[in-house]
Amino acid sequence: MEPAEALGWGWTMLGAPTHLTKRSLTRRLLSVGAWGFAAFCLIGLLGFLAFVYSIDRIEQPPETRADGIVAMTGGAQRIGDAIDLLAKGYAKRLLISGVNEKTNRDQISRLNPGQRQLFDCCVDLDYRARNTIGNAIETRRWAEANGFNTIIVVTSNYHMPRMLVELDHALPNLQKIPYPVAATIDPHEWWRNPATAKILVTEYLKFLAVWIRTRFEEDPESSSVAHIISGGAPSQQANVKTTLR
């Protein structure tokens, strides 16, 4: 018997390489995981910055006229700007999408008392849409019912990217002219304003989710994912006497 075997050295030397190999493999996996996580964070940050700095900070008149205007509820400024565009002749009809069931035509018209005649002739109210998906569905119904080929989309500047993805999915053959309302937040000031940063991060994550969802579904009305997100149908019958006028 060799001296090393008698003292147990041979057993120790045989076991050491296996132990070191397992430790080395673990370190490599941890290193790869760390680098992968760092790359994921970097890509996410770059995507967020691209999203933020693509948002318009200044409102500009539409480049051309359209058949109709669609304004998404969520702020009085959106409705006011849409009414002004209608009054200036940028389109012949306006749809206000996502109106609360407790809000009637007179209440909305009082926000723009100088344009009351436009409400009587050229403004339609949508009470059915429950979220952005519902906005896109109701916009499609309205545009198809009126035979429109082009629409001006009015919503907040930070909400515009997600709204356009939904509209492109629901109405791929309709021309959309964005009119982002920039009166709410300044997206370029996100790094010094925590409230603004929170809004933009949340909207960016929603934008990514919508972009991914619309890559795998054919139609928002028949999408099971859209129903799950909405807690039911994204566009539902409203408890009002008149939904569209």
pLDDT digits (tens, 9 = 90+) for 144-182: 999 999 999 999 999 999 999 999 999 999 999 999 998
Q: Express as a percent the part of the chain with pLDDT over 70.
A: 88
Beta bridge partners of 60: none
Q: Kind of pairing, strands 123-126 and 175-181? A: unpaired
Its pTM surpasses 0.85? no
177 has which bridge partners? 152
Alpha helices by DSSP H, listed for the chain, are 3-7, 9-52, 76-87, 105-109, 116-122, 132-146, 160-170, 194-216, 224-230
Question: What is the rounded distance in angstroms from the CA atom of residue 59 to the CA atom of residue 132?
Answer: 22
Max mean pLDDT among 71-85, 109-123, 197-211 falls in 197-211
pLDDT at 2: 46
Q: Which of 209, 117, 227 is nearest to 162 (CA)?
A: 209
